[in-house]
Structure 1
Amino acid sequence: MALVSLMEKGLLIPVGSELAYFNYFWLRDNCPSSWDAATQERIFDILAEADDLHADAAEVRGNYLWVTWQNGHESQYDLRWLESWHKEDGRIDTAIRSRQPWYSNHYENMARFDFETLKERPAEVLDWAEALLDDGIALVKGLPNTDQALQSLCELLGVVRPSYSGLAFDVRQKIDPVNLAYTNKALELHTDEAAEEFPPGIQFLHCRVNDVAGGNSLFVDAMAVANELKKTHPDYFKILTEYKVPFRYTTHSHDIRAKQRIIEIDQNNGEVSGINFSQHLADIFDFPQHEMDVFYPAFRKFGQMLQDPRFLMTFRLNAGECIVFDNHRIAHGRTSFEDGGGLRHLRGCYVDRGELRSTYRVLKAKYPAGGRNR
């Protein structure tokens, strides 16, 4: 029988060839009885326990650790479960995946899905969600020319998330535009809504009509660019992950402001998770002037690299297609198009990245052998 050693604040138990330590409060907080069986919410209040919480007795019986607490309550823990937490992989998140960088030639290899198939086959939605987690971008074809089509597509991944443009927005020429997107002018590479405190995550752009000359779509995997910057100019990369720059969006009825880091780092795996980049929404940088000496070279180099043809994917978005992409990771823009030469109408909306990950976890649990990387 494995011996359990009771310490002042926790216990030691053999795990494989080593001793594993577990804190008493952590153990009591995670007794199986602490969770509601139906909702999986915690129903135990660790705050109400005595400050000197300790075990009166503990022993291994078969594949379980049994602990008797000072108030007589007994807890039972699966030893394999304890071992997984000792090895720090107890809660493996299937939605934390390694992002795959791509470059200018990605259009032919971009993941493509059919709207009707996605609606009929949840396993196909799993593949789509995985493509968005890995590549940050995917194309959905076969959407009818209706508002409801985009709404239905979004709801396959999550709840539509409003922005200051509302639940959805229409990108087309307008008489009194409040945004360059509503003109026929070129749009620089950018991420949307950097002026919001929490910029939206997954962006949908449904092409309803496109019979103009010009107006090609531009997309760049900013993660690939940031990784290259880290390799060639590590000092610039560090600056852009630390400085928080101001963004501002103003109209007749809005004055939205926020500060964001140009390059975001994923705290789960250390990868570049995204960027916040929009020159037309950038406010006046407000660092001390001598710090501009180091910031501007880093900012300019990164912006120039975003425009490098090695990274720039260019294509025409056609009627019935919806490009779906991670608004934090993927910078997008367009070329100018002919004024008065036809119609170009895109309808867009957003779903948060947390919704995407949630949908992926649920579907991966339901179809464990599914996903593109089977």
Structure 2
Amino acid sequence: MPVLKENGLQLTMPNGDQAYFNYYWLRDNCPSSWDEDTQERAFDILAEPDHLKADVATLDDDALHITWPDGHQSQYPLAWLSHWYKNEGGNVAGHGDIAVRARRSWYADHYEDIARFSYDDLVTNPALVADWTEVLLDEGIALLTAMPDTDDALQEVCELIGTVRPSFSGYAFNVRSELKPVNLAYTSKALELHTDLPPEELAPGLQFLHCRENDADGGRSLFVDATSVANALREQYPEYFKILTDTEVPFRYTTDSQDVRARQRIIEIDPDNGEVSGVSFSQHLSDVFDMPQQFMDQFYPAFRKFGHMMQDSQYLMKFRLNAGECIVFDNHRIAHGREAFTEGSGARFLRGCYVDRGEMRSTYRVRLANQH
């Protein structure tokens, strides 16, 4: 039988464990707490009295039954309680998240193996969206083919995953040479490897680059799995890795009408599992590093080593993005850039936009659930 204590109750679980559950947690998670239509929590735990305690608690083979002081009765399946119970030093299983998947590292020779999905197949076969988002979760990059030469086509494939996420570049941006560029991308110059928009407080998650024209000489695209490089840095240069995970550095984007600033860690660590969860790296949007000058003696060697490793031939993938292709990639995992191209040698036009990673994970969960 459950043992009623001051702040919670103790009961024996089916596996023999002695489990403890807080009264407020139990009342807050009564099955009746959620609105049947919206699935949002409709119960207000703040309205409960101080020192809440169960009046009666009983146990049968399948469930815990509680009667509360106001007469409300709750029933909790033991299988559900077992799922949420946290042993001393253990981890709560939680809901379980199918969108938390192991990253699959890739290297310079990955181009032939990039997962490819045709535009027509994606827009006519919703089941393929689950496959597409799974690849983006696992590898952080995929290539769409046979894209129509329209703005609408790009928006349409973005909306298969989520809502287009505006940035300080607007809802979409055009990458082509301009007479008065506000960004190095809008020139024919080379672009160093970078992640997009670290001056924003929260940089965009998923990036789409739709190649509409590419007849110019040069301008090969550069891509690298930066989290794989970060893991190699951790193994080979642990002191550098620690500097880049501990230090917030300033980024800034300025035009006549904008002055966007934020501080980011160059390598981000997942606090739950200690794994590398993201990278923020951009030399052309780095502000003046403002750490103490003596600290620069340690910071610059770490910063340079990481940058040089990303440029190493074993990691750096180079290819020509062709008209009708759209490269889609995780902006917090994949660093990208471009070789210089010859100005006037031919047209080169890419259109880009963003969708948040949270929407990608949501779409993956829903699409996969609908398949079962």
- Which letter maps to 1:33? S
Aligned to 2:11: 13
Give the count of matched residue pairs.
Answer: 366
- Which letter maps to 1:5? V
Aligned to 1:39: 38
Distance 2:324 2:304 in 1: 37
Aligned to 2:63: 64
Aligned to 1:299: 303
**Deviation digits for residues 178-218 of structure 1 (CA, Å, limit 9, x no counterpart):** 11101111100000101111100000000000011111000
Aligned to 1:118: 122
Aligned to 1:145: 149
The answer as to whether partners of 1:215 and 1:334 remain within 8 angstroms in 2 is yes
Unaligned 5+ residue runs, structure 1? 369-374
Tell me the secondary structure at the aligned position of residue 80 of structure 1.
Answer: helix
Aligned to 1:371: none
Aligned to 2:83: 84
The yes-or-no answer on 1:209 pairing with 2:213 is yes
**Deviation digits for residues 217-256 of structure 1 (CA, Å, limit 9, x no counterpart):** 0000001100000000111111111111000001111111
Query: RMSD of the TM alignment (CA)?
Result: 0.9
Aligned to 2:349: 345
Deviation at 1:121, TM superposition (A): 1.2
Aligned to 1:190: 194
Aligned to 1:322: 326
Deviation at 1:67, TM superposition (A): 0.7
The answer as to whether partners of 1:201 and 1:328 remain within 8 angstroms in 2 is yes
Deviation at 1:62, TM superposition (A): 3.1
- Which letter maps to 1:189? L
Distance 1:155 1:296 in 2: 41
Distance 1:25 1:239 in 2: 42
Identity among equivalent pairs (%): 63
Deviation at 1:321, TM superposition (A): 0.3
Deviation at 1:267, TM superposition (A): 3.4
The answer as to whether partners of 1:96 and 1:268 remain within 8 angstroms in 2 is no
Question: Equivalent residues in 2 for 1:1-374 (5 A)?
Answer: 3-15=1-13, 16-87=15-86, 88-368=92-372
Distance 1:270 1:146 in 2: 42
Distance 2:114 2:12 in 1: 49
Deviation at 1:300, TM superposition (A): 1.1
Tell me the secondary structure at the aligned position of residue 208 of structure 2.
Answer: strand
Distance 2:141 2:271 in 1: 21
- Which letter maps to 1:109? D
Deviation at 1:14, TM superposition (A): 1.2
- Which letter maps to 1:336? A
**Deviation digits for residues 66-97 of structure 1 (CA, Å, limit 9, x no counterpart):** 01112211100011010011151131011111
Distance 2:220 2:238 in 1: 33
- Which letter maps to 1:112? R
Per the normalisation by structure 1, the TM-score is 0.96
Distance 2:271 2:157 in 1: 30
Deviation at 1:273, TM superposition (A): 1.6
Deviation at 1:268, TM superposition (A): 4.2
Tell me the secondary structure at the aligned position of residue 160 of structure 1.
Answer: coil
**Deviation digits for residues 137-175 of structure 1 (CA, Å, limit 9, x no counterpart):** 000001110000100010000000011111000000111
Aligned to 1:372: none
- Which letter maps to 2:332? H
Distance 1:90 1:228 in 2: 31
Deviation at 1:310, TM superposition (A): 0.7
Tell me the secondary structure at the aligned position of residue 240 of structure 1.
Answer: helix
Per the normalisation by structure 2, the TM-score is 0.97
Deviation at 1:266, TM superposition (A): 2.5
The answer as to whether partners of 1:64 and 1:76 remain within 8 angstroms in 2 is yes
Deviation at 1:123, TM superposition (A): 1.1
Distance 1:270 1:144 in 2: 42
Q: Structure 1 residue runs of 4+, over 3 Å off?
A: none
Distance 1:197 1:188 in 2: 22
Distance 1:111 1:264 in 2: 26
Distance 2:77 2:243 in 1: 46
The answer as to whether partners of 1:202 and 1:324 remain within 8 angstroms in 2 is yes
